[in-house]
Amino acid sequence: MGARITAFIEAQCTRCGVCLNKCPVLALPLDEAKAEFERLLDRRTPSAVLSRCNSCMSCNLYCPEKANPYNLILER
């Protein structure tokens, strides 16, 4: 049985954008990655994330705070 991934932990997220910057699919410039992540948190439509994410979950691996950003993307 696979490991269960916990929900997005907003209290741990520093909104650094590293998760979307290092994503092998999105590879957004850091300033754009930060802006896209803020849009995700604000429930605005972040087109680059929701339309291009292929559910590889790399963002969870790259998150320096282990906040599970993929789970926020999945929720949106």
pLDDT 10s digits, 38-60: 999 988 776 789 989 999 999 99
- Over the stretch 2-48, which tens digit does the pLDDT of each residue have? 556 679 999 999 999 999 999 999 999 999 999 999 999 988 776 78
Say how many domains are in the chain: 1
Asked if the structure places residue 49 within a domain, the reply is yes
Asked if the structure places residue 57 within a domain, the reply is yes
Asked if the structure places residue 62 within a domain, the reply is yes
Total-model pTM: 0.87
Q: Which domain holds residue 23?
A: 10-75
List the end-to-end C-alpha distance of the chain, in Å, as a whole number: 26
- Dist. CA 2–CA 51, nearest whole Å: 27
